[in-house]
Structures are given as structure tokens and as C-alpha cells.
Amino acid sequence: MPHDKVRVELGRRSYNIEIGEQLLDKAVFYKTEHRKVLIVADANTAPLYMSKVTAGLTASGATVHSFVIEPGEQHKTFATVEKICCAAVKAGLDRRSLMVALGGGVTGDLTGFAAAVYMRGIGFIQVPTSLLAMVDSSVGGKTGADLPEGKNLVGAFHQPEQVIIDIGTLDTLPPEELRNGTAEVIKYGVIMDSELFAQLETVNCRISREIIARCCGLKARIVAEDETEGGIRAILNYGHTFGHAVELLSNFQLSHGCAIAVGMAMAGQLAVAAGLWDESDNKRQQRLLETAGLPVRVSGFKPADIWAAMGRDKKKSVNKLTLVVPVAIGKVELHNDLDKTMILEVIGSCCD
């Protein structure tokens, strides 16, 4: 079976991302010999893959326990992190033990956060089963939970020891989940890879192992350069300041990918209004988002409410809202000096 390996270079904390098919039950991919392991999956993912991952880990020499959490962003809370830690105590995990996050972004973020704080930090492995988690959230060590006031407001940087991506798991992914992840794939094209963008146009956003590996490689490069988002890593937040605001205002009825797509459309429109980006490139972005079945407009929100919610985003620094805006396909810039009236007009132009 063809298989890609991407290395995230972080000195002693470097790790590999394995990308292929039928990896989950293969002992050879897990570095878990003689360790106690707690696999965490949500109630949707556990019936599909828990037994395969258990078989792979057991064959690799680990003692395996499992814990099932409730699915959905509404459970991305401290309370779930506490439940995972209590399950770890019950299973007898010690400081050499491991947690394994099996599932999408919510499971990965929560399990990573639990691993970051359990006994002041133990190792963990990411086994992402959604496209979004494969190309974005499982790589780079951002872990956390939401507060009622906003997404990901608590968390820790805690790198996984491995990321194991079995692209066969995409076969069971609902189409809306595939769309979610495609928003992040398109994001990489706009922010740093014009060839990827053109490839997505050619294949009408059909996602392949090669495209997933390419995105992981891009993310690995950024994380190696700026692990804790002191600089360049902020470009990965393209579309997210607008997007998180509409996601929050919709009470998470709008999925993350759809919200980010709307956010990218707003950021693109803003770049054109500010004279930073050609309208023709903005149209290309809009077409590609629509090809992937993603929205570029929202309805039912007041622009002023979106603006206010953007002000609560944690990506704000020194009271200034920093926005990632495209200046070419494959290149973005950070701006914290764009006019509020212009931003409000742009938001309004993307709202029905």
C-alpha cells in the first residue's frame, strides 16, 4: 500500500505523521511497547474504529483501555477533560502512559488537553478520522476546550508523539464533514501554496492521500518554524477571526468548516476593498469554495454582532484585531490597521 511520512521537526519533540490506508490495526505504526494506553473516542467513532485501534496497539505490546465521550462541540468542555482524566486514573495510567485520541478535532483537542494536564503531562497519539483533523487540528500540538464565552479559550501546546492518518476512515465520513475539512485544505492553497490551489481547481476539490500529505507537510513546516504562534503560525488562522464569530453566533449550528469558508470569503472581500488583492483572485477563491459545496455568505446575523464577536476572539493582541488577508493566491499578510467602517461594510456585503 502506498504510504507517506511527514516529519514535524521540533528537536527532542519531533514526530512523524504516517499517512496511508489500513494503518489502524498495524502494530508496526505504533510506538507503544510496554506502555499503558487509554484510547479516547466519541460515541460515533468508537463503534467504527475502536476495535481496530485496540488490536493494533495490543499487538504493538501496549496494555489498552478505552473511554467513550459524548460527541459534539457542545461537549468540548473542562467537564469532559475531567472525565477523561478520571478514566485515566481508573485505568491506572502513570507518567509513562499514553492517551490516544481517536476521532475528529473535538476528540483530538480534548484528549490532547487531558494528556497535557494529567499528572502534569503524559504522551499522546493523534489518530484523526475526519479530514479537518487530518489536515489541521491533529498536527501542531494545539489542544484545548471551549468556554461559554468562546472557542478554545483554555488549552495548552502539547505535541503528540505520533499522528497516524488512515485515509480509509474518510469513507465513513458524512459529506458535510468532508466539506468541513475541505475548507481547511483550500485555506492552505490561499495562504501558502498556489500549486495546491490550482490542483484543487483541476480536481474539483476531490481529496486524495497526496493532497492530505501535502497539507500536513505545509502545516509541519509552519509549526517547526513557530510552534507557539509568536509569528508566522498566525497565517493558519486565515478566515478564522470572522469564522469563529459566525460559528459562535450560530450557537455552533454552522459547522466549523462552513464558518471558516464564510470567514475566508469575508477576508477575501476585505482584501479587495483595501486594495490588497485582485478581484479576479477573490473570484477564484469564491468559486473554489462553492465547488467544494461551502457557503460564502451567511444569513440571520447583524454585521455589528459579528464585529463584536470578532472582538472577543483570542487571536486579538494588545487590543488590536489582527486579520489575515490574502495578497495573492498562495500569499497572505497580517493587518491590524484596517478601517472598522470598511470591515463592517464587507461583513454586511456577505450577509443576507
- Tell me if residue 340 is catalytic: no
Q: Does residue number 233 form part of the binding site for ligand GLY (CB under 6 A)?
A: yes
Taking the complex as a whole, the smallest distance from the CB of residue 156 to ligand GLY amounts, in Å, to 13
Set of cell numbers at residue 42: 466519541
**Residue 35 within binding range of ligand GLY, rule CB under 6 A:** no
Task: Decide whether 7 or 297 has the Cβ nearer to ligand GLY.
Answer: 7
Q: How far is the CB of 102 from ligand GLY (least distance, A)?
A: 19
Q: Catalytic residue at 195?
A: no
Q: Give the whole-angstrom CA distance, residue 346 versus residue 324.
A: 15
Cα 183 to Cα 50, 187, 226, 246, 265: the distances in Å are: 27, 6, 23, 15, 11
> Please, which residues bridge with residue 41 across strands?
68, 102
What is the Cα–Cα distance from 13 to 8, expressed in whole angstroms? 9
Q: How many chain residues are in contact with ligand GLY, going by CB under 6 A?
A: 6
Active site residue 284: no
User: Which residue is catalytic, options 18, 184, 227, 247?
Assistant: 184
Which residues touch 119 (CB under 8 Å, ≥6 apart)?
A: 93, 94, 95
Cβ proximity to ligand GLY, 8 vs 170, nearer residue: 8
Q: Is 93 exposed, middle or buried (0-12, 13-18, 19+ CB in 10 A)?
A: buried
Verify binding: residue 187, ligand GLY, rule CB under 6 A.
no
Q: DSSP state, 327?
A: E
In the complex, least distance from residue 269 CB atom to ligand GLY, rounded to whole angstroms: 22
Residue 240 bears catalytic tag: yes
229 is catalytic: yes
Does 214 bind ligand GLY (CB under 6 A)? Our answer is no
The answer for 120, left when phi > 0, alpha when psi is -120 to 50, beta otherwise, is left
**Residue 120 annotated among the catalytic residues of the structure:** yes
Residues 236-255 that bind ligand GLY (CB under 6 A): 236
| Closer to ligand GLY by Cβ: residue 64 or 132 | 132
Residue whose C-beta lies closest to ligand GLY: 236
Residue (of 12, 9, 6, 16) closest to 224 by Cα position? 9
In the three-class reduction of DSSP (H, G, I as helix; E, B as strand; rest coil), residue 295 is classed as coil
Tell me how far, at minimum, the Cβ of 140 lies from ligand GLY, in Å.
4
Residue 65 appears among annotated catalytic residues = no
* Residue number with CB closer to ligand GLY (175 or 230): 230
Dihedral of alpha carbons 17, 32, 36, 61, sign: positive
Annotate each residue in 118-157 with x if it binds ligand GLY (CB under 6 A) or - if it does not, as one string.
------------------xx--x-x---------------
**Active-site residue (options: 227, 237, 247, 282):** 237
Measured CA distances, 180 to 175, 187, 255 (Å) = 9, 11, 7
* Helical (H) or strand (E) element with 17: strand 15-20
Nearer to ligand GLY, 140 or 243 (CB): 140
- What count of other Cβ atoms lies within 10 Å of the Cβ of residue 334? 14
The residues annotated as belonging to the active site are: 120, 142, 184, 219, 229, 233, 237, 240, 244, 256
Residues binding ligand GLY (CB under 6 A): 136-137, 140, 142, 233, 236
